[in-house]
Chains A and B, each alone.
Chain A
């Protein structure tokens, strides 16, 4: 079978159709690949295309630039609007955040074919919903992970609380969410968040080989295996829990103590990650970007 690679550069991502592999490459390097509305919608659209494409068996999610994904856009200038869906009222925000940060996240999670994330550098905040929700996660040694939102924005997370399901460990979940530790690739591997950690120069080859190995299996089999694994987590309640956590995130965003924390963050001019580290001399954090 002769196949040709088709590469399309969209506004925030690059889509590579290279049957049986499709690659979605986050490509907004000047903005740390943050998940603005455009990036979220383009990733979602590429996933839909890969799903409907009978020649695609595996999707790789990776990134150009210094890191994988910097998370949600936490602050923006008066002339910018990274999230037009958020509207102006509380109820528009509720719907808009569902459209951007609930449904596309659930779609990636239950995407019918195997997915692999290829992570280097930062994978923080909302970035973990792209980096850690895939079926396979491979990171280079320089990768690091953090969820700074409770400490900085006062939000329980980024609209879908995947942590209880990812970590499957109550104490680690609380530690991760409330103490906002920066996990190195090696620590993330120890916590069971990753399949492999490899030297940076080996990252691409490792993931590509993994994808080719997976793609030797019939598509029907791949989809059946994935479906069965997903149904187990759904039976445990994960899908309902992610939807409920979106309600809580919106609720919390309207509380006065949370809004006060958000103003504090804004006034500090710091990024959420740096806000968490203010006055903190933890070496893990100071070494990170």
Chain B
């Protein structure tokens, strides 16, 4: 049944065979706070169980697609982290609940998924924008993972980079240098399927979704399952779960904590910290 609901962080729509989740917290750059993560996950579960739905589209309102994790006030943004920490001294379980299982749910969602990415798609935002089956980027889109340089994290809870780049050197360069990959480069290295003008993004994605939805649901689900099993056999699913353990481990290390303190106390965003470190390195060159 068709639906259009504006929830706290997203708009959830169902129109014929297409389910659309629109990140809708533009005043906070569509940051992935707990509410956002939970609302997306709940919408995915609903769309999965709805036999009328054949394709899921993930898109965003505002200046960009998703700015990644909310930084600086876990008590407000991630009550489950605080709860996990109070019981176990680490947010490890909370991280799993918000950023491993839901990301795996998106990745292995039973039906085809398409991301429509414009503007920033950075940090944890790449775990929404780059792991759908198909990614269509607006010409203003860019991708970056700043937390290695800017927050001391070895990768996200799910370390997607080896798998989305399928190229060791590109993944290493992107992570170590917090490289900003613009839409054209993303297309060139195979991170996205198409780059379209910003004004055409929604229509193009809609058209692709309708195209896909003409195939029988069983066929779509079988195709998706077969693609996913190949990556699982390569080890991706296990790797994403163990990478979360490494993120939790890194966050307990004193050198990482020192960097996090510097960022939080200076009220510097991780992306800004990454830029400063790049500039500092440039200054050494000259």
Contact = CB atoms under 8 A, between A and B. Distances in A.
A89 interface: yes
Contacts of B90: 251, 254-256
Interface in B213-259: 235, 238, 242, 245-246, 248-249, 252-255
A251 B254 contact: no
A97 to B, nearest CB: 12
A248 interface: yes
Contacts of B248: 251
B12 interface: no
Contacts of B88: 255-258
B169 interface: no
Tell me whether chain B's interface is mostly helix, strand or loop, or mixed.
helix
B65 interface: no
Contact of B87 (A89, A254, A257): A257
B253 A90 contact: yes
The secondary structure that dominates the A interface is helix
B252 A251 contact: yes
B159 to A, nearest CB: 12
A94 B87 contact: no
B245 A248 contact: yes
B205 to A, nearest CB: 37
B89 A250 contact: no
Contacts of B245: 244, 247-248, 251
Interface residues of A, number: 17
Interface in B114-142: none
B254 A89 contact: yes
B242 A94 contact: no
A256 B89 contact: yes
Given A90-B252, A94-B253, A247 B89 contact: no
B92 interface: yes
A259 interface: yes
Contacts of B92: 251, 255
A42 B253 CA distance: 30
Nearest to A243: B242
Interface string A245-265: 001101100111111000000
A250 B87 contact: no
A84 interface: no
A250 B252 CA distance: 10
A251 B249 CA distance: 5
Contacts of A257: 87-89
B133 to A, nearest CB: 26
Contacts of B89: 254-259
Contact of A250 (B235, B238, B242, B249): B249
Interface in B77-110: 87-90, 92
Nearest to B246: A247
Contact of A91 (B87, B242, B246, B253): B253
A192 interface: no
B255 A244 contact: no
A91 B87 CA distance: 23
A250 B251 CA distance: 12
Interface of B: 87-90, 92, 235, 238, 242, 245-246, 248-249, 252-255
15 contacts: A94-B249, A237-B235, A244-B242, A244-B245, A247-B242, A248-B245, A251-B245, A251-B248, A254-B90, A254-B249, A255-B88, A255-B89, A256-B87, A257-B89, A258-B88
Given A251-B245, A254-B249, A255-B88, 4 more contacts: A89-B253, A91-B255, A257-B87, A259-B89
Closest 6 A-B residue pairs measured CB to CB?
Answer: A256-B89, A91-B253, A244-B242, A255-B88, A254-B252, A255-B89
